[in-house]
Amino acid sequence: MSEPLRIGLRMLGFVLLFLGLGIVFIMFVPGPRDVADWLGNSCAHTQNGPSEQCSVWDVLELLTFAPFLIFVGGILALVMRPSGGTPMTIDLRGRGGS
């Protein structure tokens, strides 16, 4: 796999991961009611019908995509690390203690 493609896929993984985490975050901090107000009149509940005010249930449907985004993004970010790279570790042997 070429290096630019690997870097691009890894960046895509991070974007998907943070997008999924962002969706989960906005469900708790501002709440679904505020997100529905932000979306405004952009929810169409029929195939060719007019758009209506978004409800809390329309916003909660976004949560069905969040686990998929987090899972796929995390896998891409982990798998596309540089080839031949060793796992990242934290060496705490010389720190603190007695």
CA distances from 94 to 13, 20, 90, 97 (A): 34, 37, 11, 9
Amino acid at 11: M
pLDDT number for residue 18: 93
> pTM of this prediction?
0.65
Nearest to 36 by CA among 52, 61, 66, 59: 59
CA atoms within 13 A on the CB side of 36: 13
**Domain range summary for the chain, segments of one domain joined by +:** 3-79
61 contacts 70 by C-beta, under 8 angstroms: no
- The helix/strand/coil state of 51 is strand
Higher model confidence: residue 28 or residue 89?
28
22-58 tens-digit pLDDT: 888 888 888 777 877 877 777 766 667 677 777 777 7
Q: Does the pLDDT of residue 76 top 80, yes or no?
A: yes
